[in-house]
Structures are given as structure tokens and as C-alpha cells.
Structure 1
């Protein structure tokens, strides 16, 4: 399988390239140091898997994942990062990532997880899974419907109504109506208050 490694630390890119290339069924065909480079690379080269860091200059890994999955939905994306907070995990999965690993994962385990990803499995690090499944104190958010929760999360990510509509395959009018209902349920004034409220609740 052909792999692209995306990380703003050249040493990380080079180390992973050397180590993963030792796997007989894996070929690292390139590296990128930010999300914009990753998007451009994916548009030029045929590849199977992207190992994507989150925090990078110019374009972060979440934005890059969203764009790559929009252009090339068959490319599998594994987030590989030091962040294991619920906010980043949920944003990555919502953007389209099929896997989320922590950088402390051994290369042997990482190779196994990449193979699982390619076979169609969703791959989550044990610590990541724990973060997602531990009980949270989000009673107010629980009064929202699943659709309203999705919209609230995308508003918190800074997406416009049009971008939210495209992401969820609904009309802009539906987004506006749902947003009004969300603000009323949570007793908030505008989308800025909603974004602040949301991240306080899910952090």
C-alpha cells in the first residue's frame, strides 16, 4: 500500500518513512509538512493511506482531512498526533478520518493498525476510545437532537451555514432553522456564544 506522511517535524516524517518502509507491504511515497502540501500531493499522486498530524502551520490536519475526503473519499486517513482530547478526536472523525492513533504507538502496532484501516476497519487508540466513552457532564447538550448536535459541533468548528449544509447534505434553510432552535434550547444569543458554550461543555 502507498502511504503519505504529514507532519511539520521533518524528523518525524523521516523516521516514520524509514521504519514503515521496512514493512514488505508498505511504501512511503512522500511526506508533507502541512495540510496544504498534503492536499496538493493527494491530488497529484495515487495513494492508499495518509498519516496525518493535527497541529500544523498553513493548514491543519483537520482541514486537510476534510478537503482530502471531499476530493478523494477512497483515501484512508489515520490521524497520528500527540493530542488525545475529545475535541480533536471528534473533529477529526467528523472531518472523515477513519483512524486516530497517538504518536507514542510503536511502529509494529502502527503497521498493524494501518493494515486494519485498509481492510475497512475504524481504528482508535485505546486512550482515544476511553476519552470518547467516559461519561461526560453534558446534560444541556443532551436535550439536542442528533442533527442539532452535529450542527452545534460544526458551528463550534467555525463552519458557515453553507459549509454545514454541504457537510451534512441538507439545505442552508434547514441549517438556519435548526440553529435558531439550538440557540433557543440553550438560551444563547448567537453562534459565537454557541461555539464558546459548546467547547466549554465538550473539552
Structure 2
């Protein structure tokens, strides 16, 4: 997995780079100090994932995430920031970010979070989940037993084909069920769906 680190703090970049370089399956493709540099880097050497701060000079992480996802839909973007307010979280998700981590996260655990993202899991700090789902929590009681079965497999990172195989359904039926679930829980994609479920579970515990 090739990762581009984007942050205007040299110490953060150095710490992340040193830690991630120790992982045999992760390659630090480069370091950019702002959104504009990240755009330029991706034009020449597209990484698999961008780990990016929000507040940066010239072009912030939210704008960069929006432009990068538009230009490279397959590129994964994870925000790594100090901000855990709801507006920033929601704007990051709307921009297409697949994950949102806080800089208070232990740096050594970030590699595990990035691997989880590669496997299809949602990547979200627990504090961010509480911010995102509070005070109003969407209840899973809205779902039928079959919808809960499908949702459970989605949160495990299974594809529609894999879910269909496990539940003895057609892929078309799985897609239809997923559409109904997303409508009930008011989310737009699989990442937001997984994050919503994680937030509900976190609040209910």
C-alpha cells in the first residue's frame, strides 16, 4: 500500500513517515505540506491512500479531498486532524473521505487502521463517532431481520457477491436490500453505512 502523507507540520510528517516505513506492507510514497502539493504529487505518482490534515495553507484538506476524489475516484482518503467537531467531520465525509482519525490517536495504531480500510472496514476514531451520532442516534430497530443480516456482513467488509453467497441471495437482491437500509438509516454509501452502525453500537454500549 503506497501512502502519501499530507500535513504542514514537519514533526507530524516525520513521526508518521518513520512509523509507517517500519511496516513491511506499507510504503510512504511521499510527503506534501498542503493540499496543492498533494494534488501535484498525485498527478505524477498516484498513491493508494492519502493521509491528510484538514487545516493547511494554500489549500485545506477538505478542498483537496473533494478534488482528489473527483479526479481519482479509486483513491482512498483518510483525514488525520485535531478537529472533532461535527461540521468538519460531515464535510470530510461529504468530500469523499473514507476515514477520519484524530492526532491524539497512537501513531503506532494508524497502520492497523489503514489496513482495516484496505479490507473494507470503516476507519473512524471512537470520539469522532460519538460526535457524529450524538445527540440523535439512528436506531437499528428500523430494520427487518433480513436487512440486519445483510448489514452485519457489510460491516465485516464483504462485497455484494460475498453477501449474496452467504445468504443464498442474488446480487441484485442484495443491492436492493442495501438501498433500503441506506434509505432507512439516511446514509449515501457503504462507508457512511458502516460508520453509522459503529456509532450506534458505540452509543448503545
* TM class, shorter-length: 0.5 to 0.7
1:131 counterpart residue number: 131
Structure 2 contact 36–58 (Cα < 8 Å) conserved = yes
State the match for 1:65 in structure 2: 65
* 1:168 corresponds to: none
Query: Which TM-score applies when normalising by structure 1?
Result: 0.65
> Normalising by the residue count of structure 2, what TM-score does the alignment of the two structures yield?
0.65
Displacement over 6 Å in runs of 4+? none
- CA distance in 2 between counterparts of 1:24 and 1:77 reads 21
Shift of 1:56: 0.3
Give distance in 2, aligned partners of 1:67 and 1:122. 21
Please list every run of 5 or more consecutive structure 1 residues that lacks an aligned counterpart in the other structure. Answer: 137-203
Distance in 2 between the 1:17 and 1:108 partners? Answer: 11
The answer on whether the counterparts of 2:19 and 2:108 sit within 8 Å (CA) in structure 1 is: no
How large is the Cα RMSD of the aligned pairs?
0.9
Aligned-pair CA distance for 1:99: 0.2
Residues 105-114 or 72-81, more deviating: 105-114
Q: Structure 2: how far apart are the matches of 1:99 and 1:4?
A: 15
CA distance in 1, matches of 2:10, 2:124: 25
Alignment coverage as a number of residue pairs:
136
Q: Secondary structure at the match of 1:3?
A: strand
Unaligned runs of 5+ in 2: 137-205
* Equivalent residue, structure 2, for 1:78: 78
In 2: Cα distance, 1:123 partner to 1:16 partner: 17
